[in-house]
Structure 1
Amino acid sequence: MQPPPGWWFAVVPLAFLAIFFFWPVATVLARSLSPRGFDVLVSAATWRVVAFTTGQAAASTALTLLVGLPAAYVLHRLHFRGRRLMLSLLTVPFVLPTVVVGAAFRSLLPAAWIGTVTAIVLAHVFFNLAVVIRVVGGLWTHLDDRYEQAARTLGAGPITLLRTVTWPLLRPAVVAAAALVFLFTFTSFGVVLVLGGPTSTTLEVEIYRRTVQLFDLGGAAALCLVQIVGVLAVLAVSGRLQRRLTVRQRLSRSDVALRPTRSSLDRSLVGFVSVLTVVVVLPLAALVRDSIRVGDHWGVDWWHALTVTGPTTRDVAAWDSVRVSLTYALAAVAIAVIVGGAASCAIAYSRRGSGALDIGLMLPLGTSAVTIGFGLLITFAVAPVDLRSSWIIVPIGQALVAVPLVVRTVLPVLRAIDPRFREVTSTLGASPMTTWRTIDLPVLARSLGIGAGFAAAVSLGEFGATSFLARTDAPTLPVLIGRLLTRPGQANYGQAAALSVLLVIVTIAAVLVTERLRRAGSEGL
């Protein structure tokens, strides 16, 4: 028996995408397209920026996969002391504001590396490692051990087992993770802005420069079109590959998939991930150091300053920003889980149009954050839908970026459900909806727990669109950090470092809470 028709689930994500993405982007393009845009498109300088953007994104993606795949195996297939803490620590960089990541690497790397593609690629690996670990691990944790056991009984060794059993089952999730990392690095802004040089400009930085500094909306719109075309090409290729590589399989519970570290290879990989965790913690340690370094001595002056409201209306106490960030994060998670879960079902169950919906949902990841924020601001600033004074516009903007992550996490798992389970329930007289509730919903709920963690991470760390949408008297932590980083003086940088540490603490807490809720839901199912 087939699951419920895909269009049942497609209504909500289609409406969300049409109202809060296509309409605002169309508004920006309609206002800014001009003959100036065509001059930018044919400029040799533009295509040098495109070449650099594509090259650094490809290098960043390859290195992130090389480091992230072993980590995904260790953290989602092996049981050892400290696993949950390592998983949380390796997730934290993904939620840090990109300008903070750039500043941390600038303080750690040799001065000769600043302004080079090497510094940018290393920072991108640090930032996107969690994507590979979470997306690939989300499927790896559900792989049934019986496939490997059957191969071992036939004499398959570790390499043969990986090549003939594990890798074919994981390929859809690996492709999904690679596409996400490429899109994040292709549209990178803060990292390139801080670590890049005159010859290291990406499309996103150039769009920001033309929009904010030069007020060249026509040129910025032309670059947006180039960026969107590139994103569409990546999504089309990755979507086609995922559909072709998907293998129907029997999935297990995540707690059943974990096994003790017995072989020397497993112990070596655990050691590798332990070292990787230490390396990832180094930039975070630099932030802690700067938050308690006051001149030539140590102190908590910068932390104390966070509790005091500044002299202008743009200055608020840090604890107010924590409350605002958590409120926005809860709303963004709710929106992303509902829209992303429905979209995943629509794509998995539809025979026609699923590819178009998949690509459409991924477009916000490949669209300039400046374009999204500015588009929402000018589109919903007039009657009858005036959301300028409403707080909900901020989590809507954050959810636009979070929904694709939820879909990339849930879809490979949903597609991997063995259709024979549905056939069994249908022979017992179950309706399509009953079959869906019995077979698909438990798997969907478990993977949505991982997606919720991604959504919370995105909301807590989102900077680009939020800087346009957040009210001056209610900034999120990343926006407040960005304000401090733009002001000269050690006091402002010290407070920014202290706020960054506070954001790390809030993020770790949020990730741990979502992990606990996911495990509780999995046990209940």
Structure 2
Amino acid sequence: MTRGRLGALLVAVVPTAFIVVLFAWPVGALIRRAVSESDAGVVELLRRTHAADLLGFTLYQAAASTVLSILVAVPIVWLIARVRIPGSMLLMVVVTVPFVLPTVVVGVAFRALLGGPLAFLGIDSGLWPILLAHAFLNVAVVARIVGAAWRSLDPRLAEAARTLGAGRARAFAGVVVPRLMPAIGAAAALVFLFCSTSFGVIIILGNGEIRTLETEIYTQAIGYFRIPEAVALSMLQIVVVVAALLVTRVVSDPGAADGARPTETRFTPHRWQWLPVTAALVWTLAVLVGPIAVLALRSVRPSADGAWTLDGYRSLTDSVNGVTPLQTLRYSLTTAALAMVIALVVGLLAAVSMYRSRGVWSVAGNVVATIPLGISAVTLGFGYLLVLANLPAQVAASPLVIPSVQALIAIPIVVRIAVPALASIPDRLRQAAATLGAGPLRVFLTVDLPMIGRSLGAAGGFAFVMALGEFGATSFLARADTTTLPVLIGSALNRPGAENLATAMAASMLLVAVTTLAVLAVELVRPRTGALL
């Protein structure tokens, strides 16, 4: 075996081992437990849980959420792709923050919004709040992917169509939209994936009336402790996730862009042009800032007819099971930082391996690396409990357990940012370094890493905020001294009393503030082109 092949093998071994240990092992442990406890086949288990109905509704609400997300994002995509205005960086922060907010915070925000200023709509729980919350969460996916694709299009094509007599609308519909379809399809597939595995939003806003595959997995596993039924539903969900990932891969046509570095196609608004720009800005603020503003209001006035108070924020220093919310935040920041480092190392190695792979191996690597992003957090959480119960106490109580679990969710984001960054490096630079005697490792350290440094900084920022907000799997592993802030918020919401609600609201605003600062840092370091995913 040559040195190059040995190096490529070693690069692939680390991410493969990480995914096997953190993903395949707990899922396998659940499957073995289910097989040992049940004599029924998978078909019978699915029939008992009414899986066909659950699958149908899960796909329906995910599809409806996807369509709504795209419709809501249209004015925002136009702003990002076509308009040059002061404060564009802040606009990207506003667009991105909802995507990386913990779902439990989003659920709290929409409960406050629909139960407060929008109470007259009478939709404080049920399907519509879930669809609206999903659109709020996923606007960033559509805006970044489609917006980046639009800005990369060669403007001369639309100009040529207009020269031949086509009006603005016809040139846009006939030239621009077809070339944006791969990006729209890729964004839609990812949004569908996220919505089909949504948990926190549905639990908080569904009010027990909405049942999807994810919530039923939780009910079967936690409510009834029917492990075989929960595992059967989890396997069905994995099929949905893999199918969505394959669709994403198919519709993401790398050749859809024009290939050359895009010229500046945005315009600076003048006179009447400020009318549509202002309308789009107002829409953006209403859709993306409105729910957070209501949450901030409710954090100092927990009930609509109650008094103004800072008790929620004062309670952040009060001990809950021996730990204050502020201490929980400190622990959350520490674990998120560790998770970021793990995700960067493992994700970069996976990205290098995938970039060097070709054909079916590249597709398989992409799907395997992305599956943890859409897999059931409940499935993983139960799997971890089973695995850790059979390990030595020193290993089960290791401070690296929770950061590693959080890193598993963040690795797909690192891979999706790092692979295009590696592909953008001109091969002639690597060849020049190799000609001067540099080996593969030195070429990577002296050529690749410096050129993708800003992309890795952005990837690390996104990994940090995603780890900070992880709720599902972490909730299974948290103890009194290892509780993260999203888990504390979830537990506070489940306890009665205005004091607990005020604490949940104040802690949610604390997470919003930290997340916003992290996203602002990402915007400062990220390359000026490219998409989030």
Report if TM-score (shorter chain) is over 0.5: yes
User: What is the CA deviation profile of residues 428-460 of structure 1, one whole-angstrom value per residue up to 9, with x for unaligned ones?
Assistant: 947795876787656643433433332222112
Residues 1:240 and 2:245 are matched in the alignment: no
Aligned mates of 1:441, 1:175 — CA distance in 2 = 31
Match of residue 39, structure 2, among 35, 41, 45:
35
Aligned ranges 1:83-232 → 2 under 5 Å:
83-109=88-114, 110=119, 112-137=122-147, 143=152, 147-149=154-156, 152=159, 155=162, 172-196=182-206, 200-232=210-242
- Residue 68 of structure 1 pairs with residue 78 of structure 2: no
Q: Aligned Cα RMSD in Å?
A: 3.4
Q: 1:326 aligns with which of 326, 333, 337?
A: 333
Of 338-347 and 182-191, the range deviating more from structure 2:
338-347
Q: 1:422 aligns with which of 421, 427, 431?
A: 427
Instruction: Tell me the distance in 2 between the aligned counterparts of 1:379 and 1:447.
Output: 35
Give TM-score scaled by structure 1 length.
0.85
Partner of 1:346: 353
Q: Secondary structure at the match of 1:306?
A: helix
Report the residue type matching 1:189 in the other structure. Answer: F
The question of 1:284 aligning with 2:286 is answered no
**Matched residue, 1:300:** 310
Matched with 2:521 is 513
Call closer, same or farther: CA 1:72–1:14 in 2, change over 3 Å. farther
Residues 1:443 and 1:425: Cα distance change in structure 2 (over 3 Å): closer
The change in CA–CA distance for 1:77 and 1:401 in structure 2 (over 3 A counts) is: farther
Change (3 A) 1:432 1:443: same
Q: State the match for 2:495 in structure 1.
A: 487
Where in structure 2 are there 5+ consecutive unaligned residues?
none
- 1:390-424 CA-to-partner distances (Å, cap 9, x unmatched) read 22211211111111223334445655x49xx4258
Contact 1:406/1:452 (<8 A) preserved? yes
Alpha carbons of structure 1 residues 294 and 72: separation in structure 2 relative to 1, 3 Å? closer
C-alpha separation in 1, matches of 2:89 and 2:445? 30
Identity %: 39
The answer as to whether partners of 2:161 and 2:171 remain within 8 angstroms in 1 is no
Question: What is the CA-CA distance between 1:168 and the residue it aligns to?
Answer: 6.5
Structure 2 length-normalised TM:
0.84
Is the 2:339–2:403 contact (alpha carbons within 8 Å) kept by the matching residues of 1?
Answer: yes
Unaligned runs of 5+ in 1: none
Match of 1:402 in 2: 410
State the partner residue of 1:371: 379
- 2-structure distance, mates of 1:138, 1:490: 44
Q: Is the 8 A contact 2:454 2:526 kept in 1?
A: yes
Aligned mates of 2:529, 2:125 — CA distance in 1: 46
Shift in CA distance, 176/13, structure 1 to aligned 2, threshold 3 Å? farther
Q: Is the 8 A contact 2:317 2:326 kept in 1?
A: yes
User: Does the 8 A contact of 2:134 with 2:195 survive in 1?
Assistant: yes
8 A Cα contact 1:446 1:521, kept in partner = no
C-alpha change, 1:46 and 1:181, in structure 2 (3 Å) is same
Whole-Å separation in 1 of the counterparts to 2:348 and 2:185 = 20
- Residue 197 to residue 425, structure 1, CA distance change in 2 (3 Å): closer
2:464 maps to: 456
Does residue 28 of structure 2 align to residue 23 of structure 1? no
- Alpha-carbon shift at residue 329 of structure 1 (Å): 1.7
Q: Identify if the C-alpha distance between structure 1 residues 74 and 342 changes in structure 2 by more than 3 Å, giving closer, same or farther.
A: farther
